[in-house]
Homo-oligomer: A and B are copies of this chain.
C-alpha cells in the first residue's frame, strides 16, 4: 500500500509529531496552528503537509502510536489479575493512564466519534486496525478470566467491552470533576453490574433473553463487509 517505509523521512515525521503533540497538550488541538507546528519543527508549512496529510492525521498518528505502546503492557497486566472485573478494569485503567496527559486534546479525536464515516472516529473503517488490536485486549481479558461466557455471547463480548470502554473514555474526556472522580465512580459501579449480568446470563432460564439480546446486537452491528480476494 504505502510505497515504501521511507528511510530517514521517518525521523522528520517523528519530529513533527513530537512537536505537534507537545503543542496539543499545552494549548489544545484547536488553538494549535499547522503553521505553529511547522515552525516548531523548523520547516515550512508545505513540508509539514508532505509528511502528514492533514492536521487530523497527526491525531491519528498519536492514536496509532498509543495503541502500539499499550500492546506490550497488556500481558504482564493480565498476569497479575485473575477475576474478570479486575482484568477488564486493568485494561481500562491502563488506557486512562496513557491518555491522561492528552485528555484535553482527545476531545478533538472524539469530537467525530458520532460519525462512523469520519476517519478519526474510533468506529470508522480508517481506524479498524487500531480498533481490532484494542478489542483484542478485552478478548485476552475475557479468555483468562474466571467467568464462563455462554457460547453464543462469546464472539461479541470483547467488542461490547471495548464499546463500554469507549463510553467511559467519552465520559472521562468531558468529566470536569476533580481528577475525573466521577468517571472512576462510574467505572466502579458499572463494571460489577456487567460482570454480574454476565454470570446471570449463564442461568438456564436465560437462554431466550440472551437470544433476543444477541439478535438485537447483530442488527445494530454493521455486517463486516466480506474482504474481496
List residues of A whose CB falls within 8 A of some B CB.
Answer: 107, 110-118, 170-171, 174, 182, 185-186, 189-190, 193, 212-213, 215-216, 219-220
Extra contacts, 13 of them, besides A111-B112, A114-B170, A189-B216 (Cβ < 8 A), are A110-B114, A111-B114, A111-B115, A111-B118, A115-B174, A116-B174, A117-B174, A186-B216, A186-B219, A190-B216, A193-B212, A193-B213, A193-B216
Residue contacts A-B, CB under 8 angstroms, 25 given: A107-B115, A110-B114, A110-B115, A111-B111, A111-B112, A111-B114, A111-B115, A111-B118, A112-B114, A113-B114, A114-B114, A114-B170, A115-B174, A117-B174, A171-B220, A182-B219, A185-B219, A186-B216, A186-B219, A186-B220, A189-B212, A189-B215, A189-B216, A193-B212, A193-B216
> Given the complex, which residues of B lie within 8 Å of A118, measured CB to CB?
111
Q: Is the interface of A mostly helix, strand, loop or mixed?
A: helix
How many copies of this chain does the complex contain? Answer: 2
Closest B residue to A117 by CB, please name it: B174
Distance to closest chain B CB from A211 (angstroms): 12
Closest B residue to A174 by CB, please name it: B116
In angstroms, Cα B188 to Cα A212, docked, is 12
> Given the complex, which residues of B lie within 8 Å of A185, measured CB to CB?
219
In angstroms, Cα B212 to Cα A111, docked, is 31
Distance to closest chain B CB from A121 (angstroms): 9
In angstroms, Cα B112 to Cα A107, docked, is 11
Closest B residue to A216 by CB, please name it: B189
Distance to closest chain B CB from A98 (angstroms): 20
Distance to closest chain B CB from A10 (angstroms): 33
